[in-house]
């Protein structure tokens, strides 16, 4: 076979895989931003005063120009072309940038950690609002068919949202296989509706000239900022596409945007602008009125499916973000289920799923309409984007080794744009913007309390426990310690300090196993660690050895599987002759606690509800022995 033919044979599976992943990315990643046309242009025009002073050509072209250039600069240039290159071995999102920045600096840095925590907390606010506003905005199209359906929109939305969260346990891959083709049809239908009106009013293409956007802002003063806050609704979902990079990879997400999502969105917004120039009364719902009456119900059904899919982007993003937060010790251990053998980043987290569903349903009940929720939308997204731009500067300078002036020069225009959008959205705090800020504040308090409480516990461990070298000397001199057959594995985060479980086992049972392993599980600042770097063994004496297992922050630790790899280094691990002896610590509030009482109670509650070490590290329950201890903080 000729070399050219052989190359084509090898490339065919790659192209097929790239196409299938791009199709899946269209469904999961671009569902959020793909449903923005349902409400973004309408809310921006209403903010510009279209409902009172009528629709005029200058406002339509100005708002359209703002939307077009927001999509081009924020999504296409900043995220798709620049930030997706700032991946941490394939993983994206705020916490991946945090880990990348810390690795580049060479040590944990308080400002970097706080920025990462803030960005992650703001993302949770976005994840709660997106499903609520997306589903409500789609169902509200039924009002154009009959007003009698209005009382049923909220109950229908609740049923759909509950169904969406219930199917998450089937996994991202199964969901994406169903969602991808539907979203592709959705983009095609949107584009077709836009093209129909664009042909009739091609003058809306003048909005490609940024002069119309700048003139609109200059002539409208404070009103221009209010409109800018509504315009930002058109780019919500950009942060989710970056956070979901670990699920599908960079190239599929980039291809799906450049060749499908971006062109379809432009045509849809151009079509809505053209419709308003032809029929100013269409301001009531410029998206659905793009289509003829006979197509209205099918489009509403398709839009409902698309908005269900839109919610998937932030839900999967929330899973990825939480997993990274757990591995980076920003949150307590949680149950994580991998849902795909082919793609390691596809996971399901039951606890996150439950709390996120509760938050979304609460917002639907409290606000009841997409217009009211639109005021609450945007602050969390813009805040996350500001954090991302700041962290990207650090990564560009420290990791990419660019000069400081060039790193700042690259990201400063985007940071300035994000700050303008943030300022515009902060004007909506009283109208509902307090909701995402409240969710972010709660998340930030939880992360801060967990980190502070964990640091205090670690410090007390170091003060109270015995150095391992000193204990080994006492064991060698002791004649009262019995030897029992088998191997004992003691988990600890500080291998130079005697694990509490080992100390209490000796104290109460006066016995020691033939072989003893002090096991430390360390999280790296890269998402995945190569298999040949997973295990490190140090023999202390003929009865004790130190074993360190190294995992990336996007990996799920599996202790038995990792210990099987120890055979390559001379230790024949047999799980049926091994006992894993763990400490189950009970924490109580001290009368002289350094933590405020409320924060101490919160930390204790988080500790008690954290996933058990045996479950999190996948240790067989029949091989686990737990020894309880108490600690005052």
For residues 95-113, average pLDDT? 82
Structure tokens at 90: 């394939």
Query: Residue 159: pLDDT band by 50, 70, 90 thresholds?
Result: very high
Q: What is the separation of C-alpha 516 from the centre of its chain, rounded to a whole number of angstroms?
A: 40
Residue 531's contacts (CB-CB under 8 Å, 6 or more residues apart) are 565
Residue spans per domain, the chain? 19-452, 466-632
- For the chain, what percent of residues have pLDDT higher than 90? 25
The answer for residues whose C-beta is within 8 angstroms of residue 592's C-beta and 6 or more apart is none
The total of other beta-carbon atoms located within 10 Å of residue 135's CB is: 28
C-alpha to C-alpha distance for 65 and 79, rounded to whole angstroms: 20
Which residue spans within 353-414 are E strands per DSSP? Answer: none
Predicted structure pTM score: 0.77
Residue 615 and residue 621: Cα distance in Å, rounded? 8
- What is the spatial distance between Cα 26 and Cα 19, in angstroms, rounded to a whole number? 11
Strand partners, 330: none
What mean pLDDT is predicted for residues 502-529? 86
CB burial string 477-506: b at 16+ within 10 A, e below? eeeeeeeeeebbbbbbeebebbbbbbbebb
Whether the CB-CB separation of 616 and 525 falls below 8 Å is answered with no
> 27 pLDDT exceeds 80?
no
Residue 608 pLDDT > 60 = yes
Q: How confident is the model at residue 558 (pLDDT cuts 50, 70, 90)?
A: confident
Q: At 519, phi and psi to the nearest 5? A: -105, 125
Q: What is the pLDDT of residues 351-382, one digit of tens each?
A: 899 999 999 999 999 988 888 887 777 788 88
Taking residues 519-524, what's their average pLDDT?
88
Give 129-150 pLDDT, tens digit per residue.
888 888 888 888 888 777 788 8
Give pLDDT, residue 192. Answer: 95
Please tell me the predicted confidence (pLDDT) of residue 14: 44
What is the pLDDT, as a whole number, of residue 548?
Answer: 92
Is it the case that residue 244 has pLDDT exceeding 80?
no
**Lowest-pLDDT choice from 86-90, 192-196, 455-459, 583-587:** 86-90
- The mean predicted confidence, pLDDT, of the chain is 84
- Name the phi and psi angles at 485, rounded to 5: -70, 160
Residue 329: what pLDDT?
86
Q: What is the pLDDT of residue 1?
A: 42
Q: What are phi and psi of 481, to 5 degrees?
A: -90, 120
Query: Euclidean distance between the first and final Cα of the chain, in Å?
Result: 72
Tallying the residues shown for the chain, one arrives at 633
Answer yes or no: CATH 1.20.1740.10 is held by domain 19-452. Answer: yes
- Please determine, for residue 15, whether its predicted confidence score (pLDDT) is greater than 80: no
Q: How far apart are CA 489 and CA 487, in angstroms?
A: 7
Helix (H, G, I), strand (E, B) or coil at 572: coil
Q: Is the pLDDT of residue 589 over 90?
A: no
- What pLDDT shows up at residue 343? 52
Instruction: Give buried/exposed letters for 412-440 (b at 16+ CB in 10 A, else e).
Output: eebbebbebbbebbbbbeeebbebbbebb
Residue 171 is predicted with a pLDDT of 66
Q: Judge whether residue 280 has pLDDT over 50.
A: yes
Residues 312-357 pLDDT 10s? 767 877 887 888 888 888 999 888 776 655 555 567 888 899 999 9
pLDDT for 401 equals 87
Q: Please report the pLDDT score of residue 267 as a whole number.
A: 96
């Amino acid at each position: 076979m000729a070399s050219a033919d052989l190359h084509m044979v090898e490339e065919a599976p790659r192209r097929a895989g790239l196409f299938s992943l791009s199709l899946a990315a269209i469904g999961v990643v671009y569902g959020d931003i793909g449903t923005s046309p349902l409400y973004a242009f309408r809310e921006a025009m209403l903010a510009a005063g279209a409902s009172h002073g009528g629709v005029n050509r200058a406002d339509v072209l100005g708002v359209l120009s703002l939307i077009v250039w927001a999509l081009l600069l924020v999504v296409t240039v900043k995220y798709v072309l620049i930030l997706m290159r700032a991946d941490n071995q394939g993983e994206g999102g705020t916490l991946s940038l945090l880990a990348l920045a810390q690795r580049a600096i060479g040590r944990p840095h308080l400002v970097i950690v706080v920025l990462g925590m803030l960005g992650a907390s703001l993302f949770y606010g976005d994840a709660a609002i997106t499903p609520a506003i997306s589903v409500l905005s789609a169902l509200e199209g039924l009002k154009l068919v009959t007003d009698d359906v209005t009382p049923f929109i909220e109950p229908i939305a609740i049923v759909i949202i509950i169904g969406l969260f219930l199917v998450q346990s089937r996994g991202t891959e199964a969901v994406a296989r169903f969602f991808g083709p539907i979203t592709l049809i959705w983009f095609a239908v949107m584009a077709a509706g836009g093209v129909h009106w664009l042909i009739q009013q091609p003058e809306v293409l003048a909005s490609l000239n940024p002069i119309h956007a700048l003139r609109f802002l200059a002539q409208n003063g404070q009103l221009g900022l209010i409109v800018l806050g509504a315009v930002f609704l058109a780019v919500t979902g950009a942060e989710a596409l970056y956070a979901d990079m670990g699920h599908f990879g960079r190239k599929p997400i980039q291809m799906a945007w450049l060749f499908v999502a971006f062109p379809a969105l432009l045509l849809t917004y151009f079509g809505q602008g053209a419709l308003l120039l032809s029929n100013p009364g269409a301001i009531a719902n410029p998206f659905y009125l793009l289509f003829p009456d006979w197509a209205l119900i099918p489009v509403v059904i398709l839009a409902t499916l698309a908005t269900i899919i839109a919610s998937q982007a932030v839900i999967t993003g929330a899973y990825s973000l939480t997993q990274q937060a757990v591995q980076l010790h920003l949150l307590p251990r949680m149950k994580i289920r991998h849902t795909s053998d082919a793609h390691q980043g596809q996971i399901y987290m039951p606890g996150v799923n439950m709390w996120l569903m509760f938050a979304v349903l609460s917002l639907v009940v409290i606000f009841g309409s997409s217009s009211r929720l639109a005021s609450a939308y945007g602050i969390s997204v813009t805040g996350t984007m500001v954090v991302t731009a700041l962290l990207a500067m650090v990564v560009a300078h420290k990791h990419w080794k660019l000069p400081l002036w060039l790193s700042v020069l690259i990201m400063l225009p985007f940071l300035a744009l994000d700050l303008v959008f943030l300022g515009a959205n902060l004007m909506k705090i009283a109208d509902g913007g307090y909701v995402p800020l409240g969710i972010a504040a709660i998340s930030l308090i939880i992360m801060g309390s967990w980190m502070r409480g964990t640091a205090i516990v670690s410090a007390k461990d170091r003060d109270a426990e015995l150095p391992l070298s000193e204990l080994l000397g006492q064991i060698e001199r002791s004649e009262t310690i019995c030897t029992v057959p088998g191997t004992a594995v003691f988990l600890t985060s500080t291998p130079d300090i005697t694990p509490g479980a080992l100390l209490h086992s000796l104290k109460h049972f006066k016995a020691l196993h033939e072989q003893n392993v002090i096991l430390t599980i360390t999280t790296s600042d890269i998402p995945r660690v190569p298999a040949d770097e997973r295990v490190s063994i140090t023999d202390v004496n003929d009865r004790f050895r130190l074993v360190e297992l190294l995992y990336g922050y996007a990996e799920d630790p599996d202790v038995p599987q990792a210990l099987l790899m120890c055979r390559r280094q001379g230790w024949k691990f047999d799980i049926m002759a091994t006992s894993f002896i763990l400490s189950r610590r009970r924490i109580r509030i001290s009368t002289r606690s350094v933590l405020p009482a409320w924060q101490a109670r919160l930390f204790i509650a988080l500790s008690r509800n954290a996933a058990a070490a045996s479950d999190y590290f996948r240790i067989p329950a029949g091989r686990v022995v737990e020894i309880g201890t108490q600690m005052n903080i």
